[in-house]
Amino acid sequence: MNAPLPNRPVEGEPRSAAGLAPERRNSDVEPLSHDHALVAALTDVTRAAGALAQEYFRPGEKTSAPIHRKEDGSPVTEADLAVNRFLEQRLRGLLPAAGWLSEESADAPERRDGELVLVVDPIDGTRAFATGNPVWAVSVALVDRHRPVIGIVHAPALAETYVGVKDAGARLNGRAIEVSRRRSFDAEAMVGGPFGFAQRLRSAGLEFELLPKIPSLAVRVSKVAAGALDAALISANAHDWDIAACDLIVTEAGGTLRSLRGRQPLYNRVHTMHGELVAGPEVLLAQLAAADGHATAPEL
């Protein structure tokens, strides 16, 4: 991200990429910060998208939005689609040169033509949203050369906004956060993730408390970033839009999101699906990898 950009508040309608968008100049990379105009603009749009979703959300009750089924049988609501349209219009207005990858948009191969891509999940945790469970979020990431540089997870029904900025740390509602300082697993360690994955690790001798299901994967990993969970387990088949934003958030909070073999995900590739992943402090992830019989050294 190159060429000095103005660090000024963003007000009103999102402006075009001029004065906000990252520009390339040789190999220089302009540092971002939480006060950067682009970070502020993306966060404002994500919060506005959350407010739009809230119009359809009914705590403890079925959503007011009509519900449909995708080809794979998973639910999608009219709220997902409305938020997706809103985000595409507003975010592409900010960064018209960036590619676009969203759970609720047809995949366009041209997203891979440039180095920048917006990776979006309009409502992460649609099943929760549709049934009145507050654990859902709007997830937005800006990916630069296959890794996120800005990540935002906004959970409006929880009043939680997580923001990660490359090399500038992670924040929850404006306050700096960091991952757990726990050094080893025991009966008091708190882990979020699927039951089968957890049981496999427990059968290998690890002790931890498995929390009730956290339906939004982005929220699950973001809670690891804030230290509310010691680690998170992620089943195979998560897509870029599920994890790109929270990957950066947990990384900037001092942790890692990676495979049990030590590989960090890369984004905006031909295939957007990932294998099993874990998130948390590296010292704990090494113990998870050892319990599952994997070396902790990164794959070549």
76 sits in which H/E element: strand 75-77
End-to-end CA distance of the chain: 27
181-199: buried (b, 16+ CB within 10 Å) or exposed (e) per residue? ebeebeeebbbbbeeebbe
Please tell me the total number of residues recorded for the chain in this structure. 300
pLDDT in the model for residue 185: 97
Closest of 251, 245, 211 to residue 228, by C-alpha: 211
Determine the pLDDT at residue 30.
67
Is 250 strand, coil or helix?
helix
Residue 16's alpha-carbon distances to 21, 41, 144, 176, 219, in angstroms, are 8, 11, 19, 29, 30
Average pLDDT on 33-56 reads 97
Both tokens of residue 246? Answer: 């929270």
Supply the pLDDT for residue 229: 98
Tokens describing residue 258:
């990676």
User: pLDDT tens for residues 253-297?
Assistant: 999 999 999 999 999 999 999 999 999 999 999 999 999 987 444
Question: Residue 23 pLDDT more than 70?
Answer: no
Of 282, 281, 209, 275, which is closest to residue 242 (Cα–Cα)? 275
CB 191 within 8 A of CB 211: yes
Distance in angstroms (rounded) separating the CA atoms of residues 297 and 300: 9
pLDDT for residue 8 is more than 90: no
Question: Between residues 42 and 13, which one has the greater pLDDT?
Answer: 42
Element (H, E) at 225: helix 217-225
- 151 forms beta bridges with 141, 164
User: How would DSSP label each residue in 25-41?
Assistant: -TT--PPP-TT-HHHHH
Which DSSP string corresponds to 191-210? EES-HHHHHHHHHTT---EE
Q: Mean pLDDT over residues 13-19, rounded?
A: 44
User: Contact, 287 vs 191, CB < 8 A?
Assistant: no
pLDDT of residue 21: 55
* pLDDT, tens only, 136-182: 999 999 999 999 999 999 999 999 999 999 999 999 999 999 999 99
Query: Mean pLDDT score of the chain, rounded to an integer?
Result: 90
Q: Are 204 and 292 in contact (CB under 8 A)?
A: yes
With a cut of 90, say whether residue 195 has pLDDT above it. yes
Q: Supply φ then ψ for residue 108, to 5 degrees.
A: -115, 120
